[in-house]
A = this chain, B = another copy of it.
Amino acid sequence: MTDLTRTFAALADTTRLSLVEYLMRNGEQPASALAGLTDISAPAVSRHLKVLREAGLLHQRVAGTHRYYSVRPEAMRLVSDWTIDHRAFWAGSLDRLDTLLALDPEGEDE
């Protein structure tokens, strides 16, 4: 299994994807805050966090008894680069204007 497939595997679970998206929106969060996001038990969340960490998606900061998690930008970058590597295929078949506008530095308004 490559880094890329491991990354995709880590994101191929609704709970884990939610955790990653939440951390991207809200920045570093303690495990307790993340456990409260879902209906599943705390140990289950802890294991999902471990999967994400071992796949390189999350960084863990230890402070006392608390563990603070944050998304590693490199992981997102890995996915982004993969799509970019193949954009000659998919972007050529679609309207690429949206993509260009979305990545234009002048267009940062959301």
Contact = CB atoms under 8 A, between A and B. Distances in A.
Contact of A73 (B1, B21, B90, B110): B90
Contacts of A90: 24, 71, 73, 76-77, 80
Copy total for this chain: 2
A12 B5 contact: yes
Nearest to A102: B84
A48 to B, nearest CB: 13
Contact of A80 (B6, B99, B108): B99
A89 B71 contact: yes
Most chain B beta-carbon neighbours within 10 Å: one of A82, A100, A105: A82
B94 A77 contact: yes
A73 B89 contact: yes
